Amino acid sequence: MNKPNTPVDVGSPDPELKNSPIMEEMDEDFDVLAQTIEKNSCCYFNDVTYDLDEYVCSGSGELLRCENGIWVQKGTCDPENL
């Protein structure tokens, strides 16, 4: 898997700012949500735009990847996982 060495640390999502949904890839609602949101080539985290396939680390230490407007959990931001 080709991941950047140091994903941006974005902190925790602020509910008052624009954020794309965060889901587990195997979540049974993933396909439903993917069909209901507008297909985007970017994701939002606290009003900041991130490109498709870009990785970030959330405040909870979760590694997230932007996939068609949805943040998908890809593990932890532990250096061993990157």
Tokens of 58: 């959330």
Domains of the chain: total: 1
* Nearest-angstrom CA–CA distance, 77 and 55: 10
Residue at 2 is within a domain: no
- pLDDT digits (tens), the chain, 82 positions: 444 568 999 999 999 999 999 988 766 666 666 665 666 679 999 999 999 999 999 988 999 999 888 999 999 998 877 7
CB 69 within 8 A of CB 42: yes
Contact criterion met (CB below 8 Å) for 35 and 21:
no
Q: What is the pTM of this model?
A: 0.80
The structure tokens listed for 26 are 């195997």
The answer to whether residue 25 sits within a structural domain is yes
Beta bridge partners of 45: 48
Tokens of 12: 């925790």
* Residue 21, in any domain of the structure: yes
The residue segments making up the domain with residue 44 are 8-76
